[in-house]
Amino acid sequence: MRPGPLAALWWTGLRRNLAMTASVIVTITICLAMLGAGLLLRAQVHTIDRYLLGQLEVVVDLTDDITAAQRTDLEDRLHSDPAITAVRYESKQQVFDRFRRDFRGSPDVVAGVGPEDLPAALRLTLADPRASGDVVVSYTGLDGVEGVRDQRALLQPLYRFLDAFTIGAFALAAVQALASFALIYTMIRISAHGRRRETAIMRLVGASNGTIRAPFVLESAVAGVVGGLCAAGLLVAAKILLVDGQFTRQSTFPLFGWSAVWESAAAVLAVGLLASAAMASLALRRHLRV
């Protein structure tokens, strides 16, 4: 069908079904806004990860009596571990220098410590910085290893907090998605009933199945896109009002930037369009005989 007549069919359907379409849009908006919020929280976690990547590491402290063979053996194992991307050796002197630098604000602490007091160490960069637990367990207690410290563990409460909110947002999005699907299903049923004369005639004069379904799918897809645009608007508003307006001043960590907002908005729009069109097609199988 040409776009003109298709748009005309869509428009009459919309006028006939305005209240239903409005409620579908509202539900989709909430659903997609929650989805977008979840994506932004994940983006925030990644932002923090990136920020801390060079600062907090897993450190394998070596015993003072480690033999050259033991150290070579240990380093070989670390190098061949897929979870570890880089291994850097720090001698006792280097560890001491770092210690002095980290605690330069506290001369009292530095004063009581000499280079010999601190263990030499292997500093590890992990493929997935958040999967440090396994690495700690694997290398603790090996010959020549005094201990494995995960500096990231200090941040676990923060990560747990962000994770909880991310999961909560996604769960709400899922519940809203179910509601949206139920509403789209109902909208299609009502719409198919309202259009039954038209579809009967379309069938009769030999319109293809795709043509007969097109106005319904369009109706649902437009609702999905409008819902997606509203949700994207909410994300932008949240970035301007909440993130930039409130949190920047309070947070010690950097916050996600605009690129994360645009990525989430694009994802939300795409999901809105595709999921609503797919749901409409599914409902049509049930409610429209072609």
Partner 1 sequence: MIVLDAVSKWYPSGIRPALSDVSVEIAAGEFVFLVGPSGSGKSTLLRLLLREERASAGQVVVAGRDVARIPDRRVPRLRRIVGCVFQDYRLLPNRTVAANVAFALDVIGRPRHVVRSIVPETLELVGLGEKAQSYPDELSGGEQQRVAIARAFVGRPRVLLADEPTGNLDPATSLEIMDLLDAVHQAGTTVVMATHNAALVDAMRRRVLELSDGVLVRDEAGGGYDTAPVPPLATALPTAPATSPPTSPPSSAPVPASAPSSARIPVQPGPGVPGTPGVPGAPPSPWAPAPRGPVG
Contacting positions for partner 1 (CB under 8 A): 1-2, 4-5, 12, 197-198, 200-209, 211-212
Minimum CB separation of residue 285 from partner 1 in Å reads: 13
Number of other residues whose CB lies within 10 A of the CB of residue 112: 7
Minimum CB separation of residue 204 from partner 1 in Å reads: 5
C-beta of 115 vs 194, nearer to partner 1: 194
What does R_g of the chain's alpha carbons equal in angstroms? 29
Minimum CB separation of residue 215 from partner 1 in Å reads: 10
Minimum CB separation of residue 15 from partner 1 in Å reads: 10
Closest CA to 101 of 60, 146, 93: 93
Minimum CB separation of residue 287 from partner 1 in Å reads: 17
C-beta of 151 vs 211, nearer to partner 1: 211
C-beta of 12 vs 63, nearer to partner 1: 12
| E-assigned strand segments in 81-231 | 84-90, 121-126, 145-150
C-beta of 158 vs 200, nearer to partner 1: 200
- Give, in order, the Cα–Cα distances in Å from 109 to each of 100, 128, 149: 9, 33, 20
Q: What is the residue type of 135?
A: V
C-beta of 72 vs 208, nearer to partner 1: 208
C-beta of 207 vs 236, nearer to partner 1: 207
Q: What is the residue type of 14?
A: L
Tokens of 46: 């990644």
| E-assigned strand segments in the chain | 58-62, 84-90, 121-126, 145-150
Minimum CB separation of residue 54 from partner 1 in Å reads: 59
Q: How many residues does the chain have?
A: 290
Residue 128, C-beta contacts closer than 8 angstroms, at least 6 positions apart: 83
